[in-house]
Amino acid sequence: MAEGENEVRWDGLCSRDPAVRETALENIRQIVLRKTECLCSLEGPPSRPPDGHSDAASVDGLNKLLARLLMLSKRCPFKDVRERSEFILKSAQELGIRIPRPLGHGPSRFIPEKEILQVGSEDAQMHALFADSFAALGRLDNITLVMVFHPQYLESFLKTQHYLLQMDGPLPLHYRHYIGIMAAARHRCSYLVNLHVSDFLHVGGDPKWLNGLENAPPKLQNLGELNKVLAHRPWLITKEHIEGLLKAEEHSWSLAELVHAVVLLTHYHSLASFTFGCGISPEIHCDGGHTFRPPSVSNYCICDITNGNHSVDETQVNSAGNVSVSDSFFEVEALMEKMKQLQECRDEEEASQEEMASRFEIEKRESMLVLSSDDEEVSPARDVSRHFEDTSYGYKDFSRHGMHVPTFRVQDYCWEDHGYSLVNRLYPDVGQLIDEKFHIAYNLTYNTMAMHKDVDTSMLRRAIWNYIHCMFGIRYDDYDYGEINQLLDRSFKVYIKTVVCTPEKVTKRMYDSFWRQFKHSEKVHVNLLLIEARMQAELLYALRAITRYMT
């Protein structure tokens, strides 16, 4: 019984060839059968770990296998794998083995499961996208299933992430996943940390590094300071941070390696924001995604396990508190009217440059008065905090302690004219992929707002994007920051600031309290704007520092 879950070959299930998948499934079935029969031959109830360390380890190994099969039965884009995984689970149960069932209500804690596309019901184009993702990662994760509200963006996101993690690049594969772990850990995002711990080991990473950052190579340890500042106070990044990494003697980074690392750090800081902002649930096969305890309802049957039926009532409240539908309807109407008025004002007169600069400073000061959360500090779990240093370091407004941060003027250094070309020069093709992703998120529209159709939402999208950049001290000379207060109410600003600056503090109440009449797909769209605006802001500060070092 030496076979552990990690010794089972899952790779064959990612093949496009049904014959290869069939062979892999048969091998897995035989391993599960062998383990099951061995446990059933032991004395005592088979579902209870027997005495002895080796027997307990055998039960644990089988449980991990069964949890992975449960995930495949619900999340694999290939129908044959879903059905065969369900069959293997039923076979184990018929032999007296307790099998797992899913916990929770689908990919998101904030969005009812029935509103999210079910695997197996997708169209041909979406199936191809799902199959690509599954073939690359060996899973169809919950982030993908929530982003699927916006297929055009999802395709760009998956293409970029695949390139960053798996295609040719300056950094070795295990370094890439470890940097993902470091970045996600800064925001206590155990969801992403767990995924990349698994990926890190899969590509041959040294398990000792996972015991704590101090066990990683000095070169990666040295990245800790940049990771910390970039995640929480990117406006403090200087060329000295860059110089320290590039001139660290035998542990130094090359410019190309550093750009790859910076892109990975910003990608995973932003993805942590999306994970918390959309209430992403643990993956089915991970801790918190399944249970071996029987359900409380006595008539629960095996078909429920694979069909995803739960004994708990699945109704979720879509609005916060006791706000009536008419009140939230009025909010949409008021927002539409403000957009119309602002457009008319724009057409009639244009503010002077001095007035525009003054409005930016006012909005920047006001953004500091918006509290991201009333909750107490979130103390990181040990298994996450081991991956970064200085756990007390977090987001602070740049007004704290009398600090004055000079305004970052986009006219002096911007993504389109400076950052894009620097990234593309040092890490070819990535600049193009990131640029495409920025543009899709920023320009994405279905010309709808809640129940209204044929609406030009560009003014609202720009207000959201520029508000985030304003919180980071970044100013657009040609934008009237007076529009932000007109279009974004306080509850929405609280949600934005929390998702972008302290995502680990996001609650369902915050998600429910803004745009109460809007669809979940529109709220996911908001999150796409938030994470891309955040990623661009971080990149601008880091790339400007690299440019200053180079010149």
**Number of residues in the chain:** 551
Residue 522: both structure tokens together: 């529109």
Phi, psi of 115 (to 5 degrees): -90, -5
In 3-state terms, what secondary structure has residue 114? helix
SS (H, E, C) 403-466: CCCCCEECCCCCHHHHHHHHHHHHCCCHHHHHHHHHHHHHHCCCCEECCEECCCCHHHHHHHHH
| Contact indicator for 541, 242 with CB cutoff of 8 Å | no
- Nearest residue to 218 via CA among 423, 382, 389, 383: 389
**Closest CA relative to residue 400, chosen from 179, 152, 233, 520:** 233
Q: How many angstroms separate the CA atoms of 184 and 542, rounded?
A: 18
Q: Residue 424 in contact with residue 432, Cβ under 8 Å?
A: yes
Residue with tokens 């999306």: 274
How far is 88 from 30, CA to CA, in rounded Å? 9
Catalytic residue among 189, 278, 286, 470: 189
498/48 Cα distance (integer angstroms): 43
- Asked if 478 contacts 410 with a C-beta cutoff of 8 angstroms, the reply is no
The Cα–Cα gap between 327 and 319 comes to 11
Structure tokens at 322: 């006791």
Identify the sign of the CA torsion 395, 397, 401, 402: positive
Distances (CA, A) of 179 to 86, 131, 200, 217, 272: 35, 26, 10, 12, 13
Integer Cα distance of 424 and 259 in angstroms: 10
Burial class (CB in 10 A: 0-12, 13-18, 19+), 207: exposed
Centre a 10 Å sphere on the Cβ of residue 489 and count the other Cβ atoms it contains.
15
Q: Where are the alpha helices (DSSP H) in 278-352?
A: 302-307, 325-348
Residue 101 bridge partners (DSSP): 291
**Dist CA 336 CA 462 (whole Å):** 15
Task: Please confirm, yes or no, whether 189 is among the known catalytic residues.
Answer: yes
Q: How far apart are CA 512 and CA 375, in angstroms?
A: 17
Q: Which residues are catalytic?
A: 189
